[in-house]
Amino acid sequence: MSTGQNEGIDVEVLSYWLVKHVKGFRAPLTIERFPGGQSNPTYKLITPQKIYVMRTQPPGPILNSAHAVDREYRVIKVLGGTNTPVPIAYALCEDPDVIGRSFFVMDCVPGVIHWQPDFPDVARADRANHFDAMNIALASLHQVDPDVVGLRDFGKTGGYLERQIRRWTRQYEIDPEAGRLERMDILAAWLADNVPDDDEVSIVHGDFRCNNLVFHGDRAEVAAILDWELSTLGHPITDFAFHLMMYRVPPGIQGGGLKGMDLTALNIPNEAEYVGAYCRRTGRDGIPHLQFHVAYNLFRFAAIVHGIKGRALRGNASSGRALEVAAVLETFVDLAWSEAGLAGLR
């Protein structure tokens, strides 16, 4: 009745639950896991009438605050009543007797995912419109009032940047195998000492990039924003700056970026144009501290890569993988260092 690796999921028990909780669901059911490294495993639920998506916690013990699929379900469900494009969220299950872990079920949105930020699989004439579609989608999210949609308690409402800087500094400092980098120490201290005094609050996605978006197959429009695992209440410009890193990162680094590319030849808006479009859509005259937010996001990414380096070294200290990750780490430290304006320091 099923194909592929179901990872211990009892298809009969899951089908029974789906019949009871997802309107219109009808067996038989086939389960296929989506490829990729999602920290929350994601499955395609295939029936003769319709295809659904199930997003689950990973099997086995997890930390209390990790892999909170209930938060993902909640934000997607709420945003379904706004202009922000999200899949239809059908049902959440927190009963371990069904598949052994919490999960939720949502619509499988048809469309196209573009994996590279220069959109090489899109016709040149259409690329600018695809960038505009990304801009519209993120601006629409940041325009949603958390109080109005019932997400006032979705996260703390103040000090977001301070908390994030402390979190990623600790994450970097507690991994002894990967070692300490003097420039990372200086960056962490500089960020903590220079947090802008503009504590805006909005719903933030936390990982907004082209490969977390489903585009309509026949037009330049975002059909759904995916992967809400990192969503919370936070600073909208920090969220926007993460997305904007595509302009500051060179091709071939952690999924690649646009730095050094001929954007005019590619028919891709430059960074100033892209920022201007976001500002118009969110009612801003400009973004005074954008450079800080970009520097923070590059530091955060460096801290993540630092952790990957530590795990690689613990697995095999002489592996080529560890050397490869170490080179990527140096690149992100260089980028963060430059964005923070610390090039004159040694």
Q: How confident is the model over 181-237, as pLDDT tens digits?
A: 999 999 999 999 999 988 899 999 999 999 999 999 999 999 999 999 999 999 999
**For the chain, what is the radius of gyration of the CA atoms?**
21
For domain 11-107, give the fold: Phosphorylase Kinase; domain 1 (3.30.200)
Is residue 53's pLDDT more than 70? yes
The yes-or-no verdict on residue 152 having pLDDT over 60 is yes
Q: Is the pLDDT of residue 67 over 80?
A: no
Whether residue 65 is predicted with pLDDT greater than 70 in this model: the reply is no
**At 71, which amino acid appears?**
R
Q: In DSSP terms, which residues pair with 225 in a beta bridge?
A: 213
pTM for the structure as a whole: 0.91
Q: For domain 124-339, is the CATH number 3.90.1200.10?
A: yes
Query: What tens digit of pLDDT does each residue of 69-117 get?
Result: 999 999 999 999 999 999 999 999 999 999 999 999 999 999 999 999 9
Q: What is the mean pLDDT of the chain?
A: 90
Which residue in the block uniquely carries the two structure tokens 């009543």? 81
Q: How far is CA 41 from CA 21, 77, 208, 220, in A?
A: 21, 19, 19, 28
Mean pLDDT for 229-252 is: 95
pLDDT, position 287: 95
10 Å Cβ neighbour count for 130?
Answer: 23
pLDDT over threshold 60, residue 313: yes
Q: Domain locations in the chain?
A: 11-107, 124-339
| Other Cβ atoms within 10 Å of 337 Cβ, number | 21
Q: Rounded to an integer, what distance in angstroms lies between the CA atom of residue 120 and that of residue 18?
A: 39
H or E element at residue 315:
helix 290-315
User: To the nearest 10°, the Cα dihedral for 297, 76, 141, 123?
Assistant: 80
Q: What type of residue is 325?
A: V
3-class DSSP state for residue 270?
coil
